[in-house]
Chains A and B, each alone.
Chain A
Amino acid sequence: MADMNKNDQVREKTPFFKKPGVSSVIASLVSILGGLIVGFIVLLLISVCNKDMSVSDSLKGIVTVLGGPFSAGNSGDILFQLGNMLFQATPLIMTGLSVAIAFKTGLFNIGAPGQYLMGAMGALIVSLSIPTTVVPVWIVWILALLAGTLLGVLWGAIPGFFKAKFNVNEVIVCIMTNWIAANVVSWVFNSTKEKFVNYAETKINFINKTSYNGVATPTLGLDKLFNNSYLDISIMIASAIAVILYIVMNKTTFGYELKACGFNKNASKYAGMNEKRNIILSMAIAGGLAACGAALWCLNGSQDFKWNTYLTLPADGFNGIPAALLASNNPIGVIFSAIFLKYIGVGGSNLSAQSSFNEYVSPLIVAVIIYFSGFSKLIKDLIAKSGKKKKPKNVGYGTEDPTPAADNAAEAKTAEGGSEV
């Protein structure tokens, strides 16, 4: 009887929750849940330690965070916050895509912050330099977007080039290019202060808004729809780019090649693909995406850009990493993960606005969720393993794919000898 069950269990079809797509979504949701639970524990501890607060405050607090913009109170504020959330999500979608595409091709693009800065610089300089009295505004807008994107393409191609030609780890070069970008941007704007810095409003640390030159992304009434928020059509552009990337990666020979190089550089070379070119290309695309996000942000026309940035890197650049992780590097998933991260962020700021929780608590909860998103791979593995009999010391495969090539796994393991046990 026991034998019968055993065989049934092994031979039955893949259960619904073990399908790759479904398990990715479940993994993301479990990560989020884990983050929220830890966040709640933090709130609970604070409320217990603080004699002015009761335990119920922590419960209210987590509900506020979870509510995101919907915790804002009246419907006008909710709409306003929703609109801004979508607007803020735009650059995050783009940096998330940047990281996800690089991941898909086996590269870790931690250079998104630098590419983002270069993109912002390119877009700002072009949009503020070309007189809109001579050139139509929409042409300036397009040129600015292209200039920013192009700078990012170049900036991303640098680590790609070093990786491809000299096999230098892209992470190292990316981190260096980040700081180089931060200093280049500061230096460029420092030496062109008269032209771009916002003296008019005496904001000497900031560059003029692009609207100063009349350049702004069309809103198509979205800003009005969302109660005078900053929302414009850039969220649609970002979403469309995500869909296009999904198609390129999954339906075209180009995506087939890029992914092949990411999975196995040697086999790609064997198959006659130009694996070096593909590495550079994929980093260049990643750089362009992050920079395009920055350009869309700046071209909104309402946002200040802090030019003396040599000590700080933009958070949205780094947050592309959790956005990509949370979406399991699926371009369409990135749209939702980026929006979700901003959603929790808005909830966090509502928390500090509405309760006596310190304003630093909300970024902490967001950080915990981001941290947990790193576990999505682990959770996926757990899902794949679930339903199996638990064994106390199952050292067979921790990181190995649990595949039917069990003999191979066994060999690999044997080759490790006792060292891991």
Chain B
Amino acid sequence: MNNEPNKNNNAAENGEPYVIEMRNITKMFPGIIANDNITLQLKRGEIHALLGENGAGKSTLMSVLFGLYQPEYGEIYKNGKKVTINDPNDANDLGIGMVHQHFKLVDVFTVLDNIILGVEPNTLGFLKKKDARRRVLELSESYGLNVDPDALVEDITVGMQQRTEILKMLYRDNEILIFDEPTAVLTPQEIGELMNIIRGLAREGKSILFISHKLNEIMEVADRCTVLRKGKYVGTVNIADTTKEELSNMMVGRNVKFSVDKTPSEPGETVLEVKNLTVKSKLHKKNAVNNVSLNVRRGEIVCIAGIDGNGQSEFVTALTGLEKAESGSAIILKGEDITKKSIRYKNTHGVSHIPEDRHKHGLILDYTLEQNLVLQRYFEPEFQNHKFIKFKNVREYSDRLIEKFDVRSGQGSLTPARAMSGGNQQKAIIARELDRKHDLLIAVQPTRGLDVGAIEFIHEQIVATRDAGAAVLLISLELDEVMSLSDRILVMYEGEITGELDPKETTIQELGLYMSGAKRQNEKGDDTNG
């Protein structure tokens, strides 16, 4: 392993200094070294991917570059000159810009207002928007960004919002553009557009740092890739000389399967039947979920696919009882109407739920791992006697789950949930939900933000519970996951099921058309309207 990348060589092969070089960066947090002696060299005009599992230190490294953290050791050079970056303003002065995963836009402002925000051109305090507008249009045209400067941000698509963020960086003459997981929120079509934009930016001489844990994207767009693992530098490779398998091997430290091993499903009796489920939206007058009917049988994984914000979250919260459904909705579990039953009743009668937001719903971060593992079971006779908790049983149970599901943490059962990495937090939730007796598993984005190793494990577990006879309702935004894991795909668009697809017969492109509303199966549409 090459732990000391050309340490003494401050120049790229052609003699030109690196546009950004982060040398031997070490950043420590109490109890952990987030970045351990990491070196990153960015050439002018290249697309450089930064790859690593969750907790590998990617975000920490970028925060160091953006001035949000000060490293304990190490230096940053720009064009061969040493620089110190104390805050994001310094980073901006050095031409470093960043598109955050969650955009930083003012919804009620126009695109133009957002772009000039903070660097408003003015004479004696009076705005000179005309000049700014012209410049934005020029930039938009020359990079093919296709942004309407007068549209309100709240009215435009996520893809256009992202392009607004890119324009913000260009308007500020940033030369080094950092993209933090930019594709997480996009449809397949939008991802394609983004890739073209990024290539165009690189052609114009911008240097791009592309943070991702999606190997396909990196293979497609990047020139070089630096891999981090557990805070350590693993290596930098030319994408042309490597394969997806090699990259994943570097990232995880072992070989990873990309396809999900599963036999064709053998659906049994219907476990969950949803009839005419309607949920009012909190944001607008229309229903967030409109008259959705579906059923899930034993031994099959049914996936609701769709772009974020099309009613999937509301559908699940109504299904599990976190929010109320409108009258007329019916949720039938194993023949019993549970629409009005409490969450505890559903929990104890065969519903397991891997929630969308593991910090908001899935865990009590201030509780220890063992306390979290009995979150829905603490009242069972196994864990309490006359209301007194049987700590020994809780510990034994927790130790067993930790062992079985390979949940890794600093202090085992006693680790505060807050101190665990995202992947292990998710593993803990999955251990808890799968170990409970369940006929129906509702899994909402079970692998969101996780790395390939953890995703592989979670997919195996979901397939295993299906094979054990549970019905699985999967809600996912990841198309790869939808295609590889599900036995049946339902597409949700604007609160309605607009299509039912067989993953074996459809393509990602077709799925994308349904998800963006460009296509819908009419008979289904009629069904839901009738």
Which A residues lie at the B interface, using CB under 8 A?
Answer: 3, 6-7, 10, 251-254, 256-257, 259-260, 263-264, 266-274, 384-385, 388-389, 391-397, 401-411, 413-415, 417-418, 421
What is the CB-to-nearest-CB distance from A391 to chain B, in angstroms, rounded to a whole number?
5
Q: Which residues of A contact B493 (CB under 8 A)?
A: none
> When the two chains form their complex, are residues A270 and B384 in contact, meaning their CB atoms are under 8 A apart?
no
What is the CB-to-nearest-CB distance from B258 to chain A, in angstroms, rounded to a whole number?
24
| 18 residue pairs from A and B, CB less than 8 Å apart | A251-B388, A253-B378, A253-B384, A267-B360, A267-B362, A270-B362, A272-B345, A272-B348, A402-B29, A402-B30, A405-B419, A405-B422, A406-B57, A413-B63, A414-B66, A415-B100, A418-B67, A418-B87
Task: Evaluate whether A253 and B387 lie within 8 angstroms (CB atoms) in the complex, with A413-B63, A414-B63 already known.
Answer: yes
Interface residues on B, range: 35 or more
A287 to B147, CA, bound (A): 58
Q: Which of B69, B361, B363, B376 contacts A410 (CB 8 A)?
A: B69
B364: CB under 8 A from chain A?
A: yes
- Which one of B130-138, B182-190, B365-373 is at the interface? B365-373
Q: Which residues of B contact A252 (CB under 8 A)?
A: 384, 387-389
Closest A residue, CB atoms, query B384: A253
B242: CB under 8 A from chain A?
A: no
What is the CB-to-nearest-CB distance from B64 to chain A, in angstroms, rounded to a whole number?
9
> When the two chains form their complex, are residues A389 and B72 in contact, meaning their CB atoms are under 8 A apart?
yes
Task: Evaluate whether A410 and B60 lie within 8 angstroms (CB atoms) in the complex, with A388-B28, A401-B418 already known.
Answer: yes
B342: CB under 8 A from chain A?
A: yes
> When the two chains form their complex, are residues B364 and A393 in contact, meaning their CB atoms are under 8 A apart?
no
> When the two chains form their complex, are residues A256 and B66 in contact, meaning their CB atoms are under 8 A apart?
no
Closest A residue, CB atoms, query B425: A405
> When the two chains form their complex, are residues A270 and B361 in contact, meaning their CB atoms are under 8 A apart?
yes
> When the two chains form their complex, are residues B378 and A268 in contact, meaning their CB atoms are under 8 A apart?
no
Q: Which of B68, B347, B360 contacts A271 (CB 8 A)?
A: B347
Closest A residue, CB atoms, query B181: A411
What is the CB-to-nearest-CB distance from B27 to chain A, in angstroms, rounded to a whole number?
8
- Which one of B31-39, B120-128, B289-297 is at the interface? B31-39
A409 to B419, CA, bound (A): 11
Task: Evaluate whether A407 and B60 lie within 8 angstroms (CB atoms) in the complex, with A270-B355, A414-B180, A415-B100 already known.
Answer: yes
> When the two chains form their complex, are residues A410 and B68 in contact, meaning their CB atoms are under 8 A apart?
yes
A63 to B320, CA, bound (A): 63
What is the CB-to-nearest-CB distance from A254 to chain B, in angstroms, rounded to a whole number?
6
Q: Which residues of B contact A256 (CB under 8 A)?
A: 371, 378, 389
**Closest CB pairs A-B (n = 10):** A272-B344, A418-B88, A404-B32, A421-B87, A406-B34, A270-B361, A406-B29, A410-B59, A272-B343, A271-B375
What is the CB-to-nearest-CB distance from A345 to chain B, in angstroms, rounded to a whole number?
34
Task: Evaluate whether A403 and B387 lie within 8 angstroms (CB atoms) in the complex, with A395-B87, A410-B34, A411-B59 already known.
Answer: no
Q: Which of A10, A251, A395 contacts B28 (CB 8 A)?
A: A10
A274 to B345, CA, bound (A): 12
B466: CB under 8 A from chain A?
A: no
A143 to B320, CA, bound (A): 46
A113 to B168, CA, bound (A): 54
Q: Which residues of A contact B104 (CB under 8 A)?
A: 417
Residue of A256, A403, A410 contacting most chain B CB atoms (<10 Å): A410
Q: Which residues of B contact A413 (CB under 8 A)?
A: 63, 68-69
Task: Evaluate whether A270 and B68 lie within 8 angstroms (CB atoms) in the complex, with A404-B32, A405-B421 already known.
Answer: no
Total cross-chain contacts (CB, 8 A): 173
Task: Evaluate whether A272 and B376 lie within 8 angstroms (CB atoms) in the complex, with A260-B367, A409-B29, A410-B63 already known.
Answer: yes
What is the CB-to-nearest-CB distance from A144 to chain B, in angstroms, rounded to a whole number?
29
Task: Evaluate whether A10 and B33 lie within 8 angstroms (CB atoms) in the complex, with A270-B353, A414-B100 already known.
Answer: yes
Residue of A259, A270, A392, A421 contacting most chain B CB atoms (<10 Å): A270
A6 to B30, CA, bound (A): 11
Task: Evaluate whether A396 and B32 lie within 8 angstroms (CB atoms) in the complex, with A260-B367, A405-B420, A407-B57 already known.
Answer: no
Q: Which residues of B contact A259 (CB under 8 A)?
A: 367
B328: CB under 8 A from chain A?
A: no
Q: Which residues of B contact A273 (CB under 8 A)?
A: 344
Q: Which residues of A contact B343 (CB under 8 A)?
A: 269-272
A396 to B86, CA, bound (A): 11
> When the two chains form their complex, are residues A417 and B418 in contact, meaning their CB atoms are under 8 A apart?
no
A414 to B26, CA, bound (A): 18
Q: Which residues of A contact B57 (CB under 8 A)?
A: 406-407
Q: Is the interface of A mostly helix, strand, loop or mixed?
A: helix
Closest B residue, CB atoms, query A268: B364
Q: Which residues of A contact B27 (CB under 8 A)?
A: 406
A32 to B58, CA, bound (A): 43
> When the two chains form their complex, are residues A405 and B418 in contact, meaning their CB atoms are under 8 A apart?
yes
A10 to B231, CA, bound (A): 14
Q: Which residues of B contact A3 (CB under 8 A)?
A: 37
> When the two chains form their complex, are residues B422 and A408 in contact, meaning their CB atoms are under 8 A apart?
yes
> When the two chains form their complex, are residues B365 and A264 in contact, meaning their CB atoms are under 8 A apart?
yes
B62: CB under 8 A from chain A?
A: yes
Residue of B57, B353, B379 contacting most chain A CB atoms (<10 Å): B379
Residue of A3, A401, A408 contacting most chain B CB atoms (<10 Å): A408
Q: Which residues of A contact B58 (CB under 8 A)?
A: 407
Task: Evaluate whether A404 and B419 lie within 8 angstroms (CB atoms) in the complex, with A260-B375, A263-B365, A395-B69 already known.
Answer: yes
> When the two chains form their complex, are residues B419 and A260 in contact, meaning their CB atoms are under 8 A apart?
no
A219 to B354, CA, bound (A): 57
What is the CB-to-nearest-CB distance from A268 to chain B, in angstroms, rounded to a whole number?
7
B15: CB under 8 A from chain A?
A: no
Closest B residue, CB atoms, query A247: B388
> When the two chains form their complex, are residues B62 and A414 in contact, meaning their CB atoms are under 8 A apart?
yes
What is the CB-to-nearest-CB distance from A385 to chain B, in angstroms, rounded to a whole number?
7
B264: CB under 8 A from chain A?
A: no
> When the two chains form their complex, are residues B379 and A403 in contact, meaning their CB atoms are under 8 A apart?
no
Q: Which residues of B contact A409 (CB under 8 A)?
A: 29
What is the CB-to-nearest-CB distance from A285 to chain B, in angstroms, rounded to a whole number?
15
> When the two chains form their complex, are residues A272 and B389 in contact, meaning their CB atoms are under 8 A apart?
no
What is the CB-to-nearest-CB distance from A23 to chain B, in angstroms, rounded to a whole number?
13
B465: CB under 8 A from chain A?
A: no
Q: Which residues of A contact B347 (CB under 8 A)?
A: 271-272
Q: Which residues of A contact B322 (CB under 8 A)?
A: 269-270
B410: CB under 8 A from chain A?
A: yes
> When the two chains form their complex, are residues A414 and B28 in contact, meaning their CB atoms are under 8 A apart?
no
Q: Which of B32, B37, B367 contacts A406 (CB 8 A)?
A: B32
A286 to B378, CA, bound (A): 24
Q: Which residues of A contact B360 (CB under 8 A)?
A: 264, 266-267
A410 to B98, CA, bound (A): 14
A377 to B69, CA, bound (A): 23
> When the two chains form their complex, are residues A393 and B63 in contact, meaning their CB atoms are under 8 A apart?
no
B476: CB under 8 A from chain A?
A: no
Q: Which residues of B contact A270 (CB under 8 A)?
A: 320, 322, 343, 353, 355, 361-362
B89: CB under 8 A from chain A?
A: yes
Please encode chain B, from 88 to 122, with 1 for each CB lying within 8 Å of some chain A CB and 0 for all others. 11001000001011101000000000000000000
Q: For chain B, residues 486 to 523, give those with C-beta under 8 angstroms from any C-beta of chain A.
A: none
Q: For chain B, residues 67 to 87, give those with C-beta under 8 angstroms from any C-beta of chain A.
A: 67-70, 72, 86-87
Residue of A251, A259, A401, A411 contacting most chain B CB atoms (<10 Å): A411
B446: CB under 8 A from chain A?
A: no
Closest B residue, CB atoms, query A395: B68
Q: For chain B, residues 411 to 434, give those with C-beta under 8 angstroms from any C-beta of chain A.
A: 416, 418-422
What is the CB-to-nearest-CB distance from B369 to chain A, in angstroms, rounded to a whole number?
13
Q: For chain B, residues 161 to 189, give those with C-beta under 8 angstroms from any C-beta of chain A.
A: 180
What is the CB-to-nearest-CB distance from B356 to chain A, in angstroms, rounded to a whole number?
11
A396 to B69, CA, bound (A): 5
B299: CB under 8 A from chain A?
A: no
Q: Which of A391, A396, A403 contacts B418 (CB 8 A)?
A: A403
Please encode chain B, from 315 to 354, with 1 for each CB lying within 8 Å of some chain A CB and 0 for all others. 0000010100000000000000000001111111000010
A273 to B387, CA, bound (A): 15
Q: Which of B68, B89, B362 contacts A414 (CB 8 A)?
A: B68
B55: CB under 8 A from chain A?
A: yes
Beyond A401-B418, A407-B421, A414-B98, list 8 extra A-B contacts (CB 8 Å): A6-B28, A264-B366, A270-B353, A272-B348, A388-B28, A402-B29, A404-B421, A421-B87
> When the two chains form their complex, are residues A10 and B363 in contact, meaning their CB atoms are under 8 A apart?
no
